[in-house]
Amino acid sequence: MIARMLRPLLITLGLTLLWQCVVWLSAAPPFILPGPLQVLDTLLQQLPLLTRHAAVTLAEILLGLLCGVLLGLASALSLITWGGLRRWLMPVLVVSQAIPVFALAPVLMLWLGYGMASKVAMATLIIYFPVTAACFDGLRRTPTGYLKLARTLGASRRAQLLQIRLPAALPAFASGLRVAASVAPIGAVVGEWVGSSTGLGYLMLNANARMQVDLMFAALLVLALIAVALYFLIDHLARRLTPWQADTLLNPDAGSAGSR
């Protein structure tokens, strides 16, 4: 237990040490690569500024995550409910992924303005496909035995979808959610780079232009913290969503539970 609490701390410490060693060995000037202490100092000094911009970015990420997941879930459910839809919607989905989101950013900016809407749209767009694909796969791969059993029990199609297919797809949905949580920040930050007046991405670009490299690194650090925290939060949520999925990685006996 103590080891589990200590491990993230040790990893952070080790990475920081590595960073400091690179600074020492390369003897890079502070405006190219500032040391961890200097960045930490800037972080504390500029905390109000960083918090203000971080709040904007966090809001964009969360809204994008929400929209992307809801949209993906709805698409997957429609695909599974209306079989004919698949032939029409699947190619559209694939094409939507073939166009790099980065290339779409200026267009979205043009349409939705420099405010939050365009960044939320970017995050949504980048999340949409992985979530849809994961959910659709999960819904499609319900063990046929479960469905046959439900039919002998006289379940309606609706009951089969809601009480058999949907819960059986939850583990797949959970992995889609994890992927979404790790790519959502990319969408938001790219949006901010292309054009904005707030957010961590804007702050980084701005600091870079003014050679405030320490501030840029501080913003990067905050962004990384947000991304990691978000991932662990979603991971925790996903585990709560699928409590029957025992962690076979942590427990070597879990796989043989059936033949105990």
Residue ranges that bind other proteins, judged by CB under 8 A? 143-146, 148-156, 159-160, 162-164, 167-168, 170, 242-246, 254, 257-260
Kindly state the smallest distance separating residue 254's Cβ from other proteins, in Å.
8
Cα–Cα distance measured from residue 117 to residue 59, given in angstroms and rounded to the nearest whole number: 11
Taking the least distance from each CB to other proteins, the nearer of 29 and 243 is 243
Kindly state the smallest distance separating residue 138's Cβ from other proteins, in Å.
13
Kindly state the smallest distance separating residue 239's Cβ from other proteins, in Å.
13
Kindly state the smallest distance separating residue 66's Cβ from other proteins, in Å.
24
3-state DSSP percent of the chain in helix, strand and coil, to 5: 85, 0, 15
**Is residue 106 within 8 Å of 194, Cβ to Cβ?**
yes
Longest dimension (CA), the chain: 74
How far from chain centre, in Å, is Cα 24?
Answer: 34
Kindly state the smallest distance separating residue 154's Cβ from other proteins, in Å.
6
Question: Residue 146: which of 120, 127, 166 has the closest Cα?
Answer: 166
**Distance set, CA 112 to CA 21, 44, 105, 121, 181 (Å):** 45, 34, 10, 9, 23
Kindly state the smallest distance separating residue 159's Cβ from other proteins, in Å.
5
Taking the least distance from each CB to other proteins, the nearer of 12 and 156 is 156
Cα–Cα distance measured from residue 260 to residue 253, given in angstroms and rounded to the nearest whole number: 9
Taking the least distance from each CB to other proteins, the nearer of 36 and 167 is 167
Kindly state the smallest distance separating residue 146's Cβ from other proteins, in Å.
6
**Is residue 70 within 8 Å of 84, Cβ to Cβ?**
no
Taking the least distance from each CB to other proteins, the nearer of 120 and 150 is 150
Residues 6+ apart with CB under 8 A from 199: 53, 56, 57, 60, 119, 188, 189, 192
Taking the least distance from each CB to other proteins, the nearer of 119 and 165 is 165
Tokens of 108: 């979205």
How far apart, in Å, do the first and last CA atoms of the chain sit? 27
Residue 183, H or E segment: helix 166-194
Taking the least distance from each CB to other proteins, the nearer of 29 and 259 is 259
Taking the least distance from each CB to other proteins, the nearer of 84 and 154 is 154
